[in-house]
């Protein structure tokens, strides 16, 4: 009887939990050390991921620049393994790119000349590292090799040059092969599959098949290590994928291979560049023994059923899996949430490109309903984040203009709108779940970086800059390398960014753009580094 009354009391107590006021910010991390091996040295995968953890007081230690991969050069896996071992003492966690440790970087995972023996030996170093540092949790993140999307990808150093004349055929072949295995190919498509298999140059097919097999077997081995407790969490992403593609084919089979693992230890999603931020969030949440609650709300129309460009599954599925990977839990009631994630999809379920002429400030069909959704949550005092994925590779100008006019820019908790849809949602989930431990100044600084990069640069300035550098004598029109136009691009881009910010961003107290400067560390316009 006594136990019965205790259960009743506990039930009544739990019923009132949603009514409790939000948790106060936790004390600073007091320089707790996190080892971080990024995917490569791009700002978003390296510096900007580190900055989020550093806002919480963590000391994020990264390898020397010369060990990390660049656009032109792979990283140094042997040097990275030595660095990781030498710096493990005293660390609270290690957040590690398996691509960097096995191949050297993301780009190197696509065009390396490594043998199966070398890759397997490097995979097994994770076992040795765990044996040497058994108390150090390791959060691994890696990619499932991307499928060629266009014939141009092989011509800019991102894939072997051997693919150049076969890129479209390889892409279409992989699409039909995946579709056929799923039982969804028509008779005509099956005939086309046979034709493509015969037409693709044998050397290209052999190399492409072998390269994918190496990556697939390495990921299987990493899954095995996770089952043996070597990784505290393993997060794999299907890089630049599509619903029917080789990447989706391998994703399906790797999910099946790892189905015996608990979903709180292993997940597969679409994406690549955001994986490190998600695992950084997971490491910090585990360190603080916390499971943040998150509520998701989508724009009108297809919403969570949207399959964005560069992704191989519905965004709702991807977001749910990423929340788990980040250490959070999705809840059905915004009153219980520590973050309300609003997701700006197009009502028709399509994803457009931010550099399209259609990306204007004129509201579209779903613009005002989504702004009203965001406004409603903000007015109720909820901590709100906006995932802006109506366009790929940049922000939705109509949405951002409306948020500006309504004074909502810095009433948000976090914002994201860059590159692929899952790059945006993943990085935003990882950042957003951690903002509850930050003061407003820290949140605003992170958000301003995203506004400048995703809205200012990606959706607007980059297009103007592309036209300006094209005729510059130092620009390499063949490769897209800035080369001799690099200083010009930085100077002109900075001026246009400053002008854009003055017109479109209402800065809160404590922030200034007087020292705003951009640069292009990868010698191309696609990404920039922002300092202010």
C-alpha distances in angstroms, 391 versus 254, 341, 394, 454?
A: 29, 17, 6, 11
Per-residue pLDDT tens digits for 269-285: 999 999 999 999 999 99
C-alpha distances in angstroms, 437 versus 18, 64, 263, 341?
A: 19, 29, 26, 17
Total Cβ atoms within 10 A of residue 278: 33
pLDDT at 13 over 60: no
Give the pLDDT mean for 302-307: 96
pLDDT at 155 over 70: no
State the angle between helix axes of 275-287 and 315-325 in degrees (0 to 180), rounded to the nearest 10. Answer: 40
pLDDT at 334 over 90: yes
Give the domain ranges of the chain. Answer: 33-171+202-287, 292-438, 445-532
Per-residue pLDDT tens digits for 506-531: 999 999 999 999 999 999 999 999 99
Measure the CA angle with vertex 218, ends 43 and 110; round to 5°: 50
Instruction: Reply yes or no on domain 292-438 having CATH 3.40.50.
Output: yes
pLDDT at 16 over 60: no
| CB-CB contact of 416 with 450 (8 Å) | yes
What mean pLDDT value characterizes the chain? 92
- Label the pairing between strands 529-531 and 517-519: antiparallel
The reported pLDDT for the residue numbered 10 is: 35
Q: Where are the beta strands (DSSP E) in 240-366?
A: 266-270, 293-298, 329-330, 339-344, 352-353
* Fold held by 33-171+202-287: Rossmann fold (3.40.50)
**Same-fold call for 33-171+202-287 versus 292-438:** yes
Nearest to 128 by CA among 230, 233, 26: 230
pLDDT at 365 over 60: yes
Residues 207, 37: Cα–Cα separation, whole Å: 29
The reported pLDDT for the residue numbered 198 is: 95
| CB-CB contact of 435 with 443 (8 Å) | yes
The reported pLDDT for the residue numbered 17 is: 35
DSSP string, 179-209: HHHTT---HHHHHHHHHHHHHS-HHHHHHHH
Task: Give the single-character DSSP code of 507.
Answer: P
Per-residue pLDDT tens digits for 45-78: 999 999 999 999 999 999 999 999 999 899 999 9
Give the pLDDT mean for 444-454: 97
Q: Where are the beta strands (DSSP E) in 118-188?
A: 138-144
pLDDT at 157 over 80: no
Per-residue pLDDT tens digits for 284-303: 999 999 999 999 999 999 99
- Label the pairing between strands 233-238 and 138-144: parallel
- pTM for the model stands at 0.93
The reported pLDDT for the residue numbered 386 is: 98
Instruction: Please give the structure tokens belonging to residue 355.
Output: 């550099």
| CB-CB contact of 111 with 138 (8 Å) | no
């Amino acid at each position: 009887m006594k136990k019965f009354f205790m259960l009743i009391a506990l039930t009544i107590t739990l019923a009132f939990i949603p009514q409790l006021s939000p948790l106060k910010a936790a004390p600073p991390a007091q320089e707790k050390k996190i080892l971080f091996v990024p995917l490569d040295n791009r700002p978003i995968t390296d510096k900007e991921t580190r900055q989020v953890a550093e806002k919480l007081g963590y000391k994020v230690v990264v390898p020397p620049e010369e060990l990390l991969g660049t656009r032109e050069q792979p990283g140094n896996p042997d040097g990275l393994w030595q660095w990781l071992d030498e710096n493990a003492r005293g660390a609270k966690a290690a957040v590690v790119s398996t691509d960097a440790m096995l191949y050297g970087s993301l780009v190197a995972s696509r065009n390396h000349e490594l043998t199966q023996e070398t890759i397997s030996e490097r995979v097994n170093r994770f076992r040795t590292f765990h044996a040497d540092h058994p108390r150090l949790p390791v959060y691994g993140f890696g990619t499932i090799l991307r499928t060629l999307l266009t014939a141009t990808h092989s011509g800019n150093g991102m894939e072997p040059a051997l693919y150049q004349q076969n890129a479209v055929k390889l892409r279409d072949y992989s699409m039909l092969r995946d579709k056929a295995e799923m039982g969804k190919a028509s008779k005509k498509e099956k005939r086309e599959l046979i034709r493509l298999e015969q037409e693709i140059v044998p050397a290209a097919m052999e190399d492409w098949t072998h390269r994918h097999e190496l990556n697939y077997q390495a990921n299987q081995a990493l899954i095995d290590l996770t089952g043996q407790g070597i990784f505290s969490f393993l997060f794999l992403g299907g890089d630049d994928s599509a619903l029917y593609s080789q990447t989706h084919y391998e994703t399906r089979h790797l999910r099946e291979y790892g189905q015996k693992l608990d979903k709180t230890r292993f997940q597969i999603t679409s994406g690549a560049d955001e994986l490190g931020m998600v695992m950084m969030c997971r490491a910090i949440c585990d360190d603080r023994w916390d499971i943040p609650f998150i509520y998701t709300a989508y724009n009108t129309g297809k919403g969570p059923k949207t399959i964005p460009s560069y992704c191989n599954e519905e965004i709702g599925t991807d977001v749910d899996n990423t929340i788990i990977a980040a250490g959070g839990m999705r809840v059905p009631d915004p009153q219980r949430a520590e973050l309300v994630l609003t997701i700006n999809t197009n009502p028709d379920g399509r994803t457009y490109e931010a550099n399209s002429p259609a990306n204007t400030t004129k509201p579209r069909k779903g613009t005002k309903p989504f702004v009203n959704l965001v406004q409603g949550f903000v007015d109720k005092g909820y901590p709100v984040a906006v995932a802006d994925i109506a366009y790929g590779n940049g922000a939705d100008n109509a949405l951002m203009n409306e948020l500006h006019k309504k004074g909502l820019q810095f009433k948000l908790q976090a914002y994201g709108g860059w590159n692929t849809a899952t790059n945006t949602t993943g990085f935003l989930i990882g950042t957003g779940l951690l903002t509850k431990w930050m003061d407003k100044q820290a949140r605003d600084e992170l958000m301003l970086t995203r506004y400048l990069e995703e809205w200012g640069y990606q959706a607007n300035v980059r297009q103007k800059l592309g036209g300006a550098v094209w005729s510059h004598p130092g620009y390499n029109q063949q490769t897209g390398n800035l080369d001799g136009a690099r200083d010009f691009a930085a100077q002109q881009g900075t001026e246009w960014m400053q002008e854009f910010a003055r017109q479109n961003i209402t800065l809160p107290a404590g922030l200034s753009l007087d020292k705003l400067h951009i640069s292009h560390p990868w010698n191309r316009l696609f990404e920039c580094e922002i300092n202010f």
